[in-house]
Amino acid sequence: MFINRFIGFLPKGNLKKALGFMNKGEYRKACSEFESYLCRKAGVVGGRDQEMVRMYVVESFIEFARELEKERKFEEAARQLEKAVELQPHYADVHFMLGRMYEESGNSVNSRESIKRALAINPNFFRARIMLARSYHRDAKSERVLEELNKALSASPNFFLEHVKDLIREVRNESVSNGIDELFAKLLEERPSSSQVSKQIALESIRNGDYDSAMTELKKCISMNPNYPDLHNMLGIAYASKGMTDDAIMEFETALKINPDYLKARINMALTLYEKGASDESMTHLRVILSLDPGNELARNLMNELQPVLDKR
């Protein structure tokens, strides 16, 4: 598997173990190892040089929180999400998910504050806007409910628009029926987009070694979201794992055209070129990585593998 070769260039330690567990979908163990790694780093994983590590750590905390949510361990899930927010405070989705876990735990004050933070990042976050309106409804603050619902109208998907209008009418009429609660429940129902579903299937397929399925799903995602570098990077990983090196390189190149500072794609590019035998090109990418991150151990280890090959010429 491509990511296993990637992990092979990491020095031994908590980070290598964590990525190995994450690759297998064992998020509890991955989080434990990541936390040990963070302790050694004094809790700091910052800067462009640590972008890739920070993304993996945050993803593990989020996925572990999802598992805990399914087990209805809401307080523990909230603690994992708090760690994710500390490392990456600019993800509106994580603040929203944290708000839901606080609500499920009976912590309405922290829930509302988390939802407000999600909306500060993304004012058009429809479900967050509806959830904030519902929190005011539970406090019998009708004016605040209407204020939030009117804001939600401009961000509402078409298939929810009539529900929002119905809800506004119910609140204005000061309905005491269950209609308001039922409308809020409909609007907050989890409905992942087709691209989100495809991306999740692709992630699971890559972990299970089903690269053909991953490629099919990622192509669907890219057709809807062509400018997301992470999707091209994932497709590159799937191609590389199938031995389709040239196709993998094209996807990594596309990801880097969208975001030249995307270290994860650049390292994957260097590793793929290395395996193809294109040592000079691989070394070029490694030098770029080390110019951005002089202490990048993975890039340094790969460079140490390449240098003897180049010296023999």
Question: pLDDT digits over 83-105, tens only?
Answer: 999 888 888 889 999 999 999 99
Site of tokens 């209008």? 165
What is the value of pTM for the model shown?
0.62
Distances in Å between the Cα of 134 and the Cα atoms of 71, 125, 127, 178, 184 are: 25, 15, 10, 13, 7
pLDDT at 49: 41
pLDDT at 44: 52
Distance CA 143, CA 147 (A): 6
Output the CA angle 197-104-165, nearest 5 degrees. Answer: 65
Question: What residue type is 85 in one-letter code?
Answer: V
pLDDT at 232: 92
pLDDT at 51: 58
Pick the CATH number of 1-122 from 2.130.10.10, 1.10.3720.10, 3.20.20.100, 1.25.40.10: 1.25.40.10
Q: How far is CA 31 from the centre of its chain?
A: 15
Report whether CATH 3.30.465.10 matches the domain 194-311. Answer: no
Instruction: List every span in the chain annotated with CATH 1.25.40.10.
Output: 1-122, 194-311
Under-50 pLDDT residues of the chain: 1, 47-49
